[in-house]
Amino acid sequence: MAKTSEERMTIYDVANEAGVSITTVSRFLNNPNNVKDSTGDRIAEAMDKLDYIPQGNTGTRAKRSVGRIGVLTPFFPMPSFVARLDGVIPPLREANYEVIIYTIENPEQLDEYLTSVPFTRRIDGLILISVHLTEDQHRILSASGLDIVMIESDDENYSRVLADDFRGGQTAADLFLKKNYLPCAYFGDINNNLSYSCHPSESRLIAFSERLKQGGYQIEDKFILESRTTVDEARRVFSELLAKGERPRAIFAMSDLHAIGVLKAAKDFDIKVPEELAILGFDDIEAADWMELSTITQHLLDSGRIAAGLLLEKMSGKVETIQKVNLQIGLIERSTT
């Protein structure tokens, strides 16, 4: 019978559940390569079933090299995440690691991944893209002994690669103020309430609004729009605004997908871009170049490449300290501004 939550599971419980000796469980925790695969699998399954988390330093050395790196992300296959993966995969493949992508669709699924001992045993390291961890999730992941690097999440517990979302919002406002593209609008992401994800849309809006205020302009509530991050949804929402007879002089979109949707809606209403409506995106995905879309780049490919490099250094033992890499954003003006 399983113990209550108040009773902490011990190595004795794991040994009993797996049908092995305590010595075998201890050997598995400290050096899995000295335990048969079949026996190790039974022990791992017992740990998972009993929700057993090794205490102290035990378990931090319990890493069997399996030649795989996990990438955990909420929004795959969105173009910005694919671009990051294009940076992640080559250095890991060069180091002879297979990359396994795990997608998150709800908080329960994230909990299921992180609390599953078989999950952590299938990989040698983990890259989390735009994932927000709770304190409990951090504690559980820390106990796994995995080397971890984050992209887009400014979590001080881990090495991480960040883009300056705040500076991105300021840059957009500076451009609109300089060109007198007023009144202007902001198009954000409707998924800002997801507990397990980072919220760059919110940071970009705050910075955008504050810088506009400094320039003597306040963005109107009716010009703060949001939708899911798809071209069709952004096109629909912006079309509804235009159908009401409302038209900003310019719009800053939190993603290039939103911006492309706005561009399509403008075409539907025979609005000239940029003469009547200027459009600025964020990310600089490949499609932005095809569409001649002005955008703010956060160097997606570089963020993935740098994160992979940080992880390989941590796994090799060359770097033990937590590292933070800030990537500078850049304005790319094409034909829509």
Q: Give the range of the structural domain holding residue 274, as residue numbers without chain letter.
A: 165-297
> Are 93 and 200 in a shared domain?
no
Question: The domain spanning residue 125 has which CATH number?
Answer: 3.40.50.2300
Residue 62 resides in a domain: no
> Are 88 and 26 in a shared domain?
no
The residue type of 185 is A
Alpha-carbon span 239 to 8, nearest angstrom: 57
> Are 126 and 100 in a shared domain?
yes
Q: Is the peptide bond before 77 cis (omega within 30 degrees of 0)?
A: yes
The Cα-based distances of 153 to 128, 150, 187, 326 in angstroms read 8, 6, 22, 11
Alpha-carbon span 302 to 87, nearest angstrom: 6
Q: Could you identify the residue written with the tokens 């304190």?
A: 135
Q: What DSSP element (H or E) covers 68?
A: strand 68-73
DSSP state of 197: B
> Are 19 and 118 in a shared domain?
no
> Are 179 and 287 in a shared domain?
yes
pLDDT tens digit at each of 337 positions of the chain: 444 444 556 777 888 888 988 778 877 776 676 778 888 888 888 877 777 766 544 444 444 577 899 999 887 678 998 999 999 999 999 999 999 999 888 888 888 888 775 677 788 899 999 988 888 888 888 877 889 999 999 999 999 999 999 999 999 999 999 999 999 999 999 876 677 778 889 999 999 999 999 999 999 999 999 999 999 999 999 999 999 999 999 999 999 999 999 999 999 999 999 999 999 999 999 999 999 999 999 999 999 999 999 999 999 887 878 999 999 999 999 999 9
Predicted TM-score (pTM) of this structure:
0.79
Residue 59 resides in a domain: no
Report residue 232 as tokens. 């069709």
Alpha-carbon span 98 to 134, nearest angstrom: 28
Residue 195 resides in a domain: yes
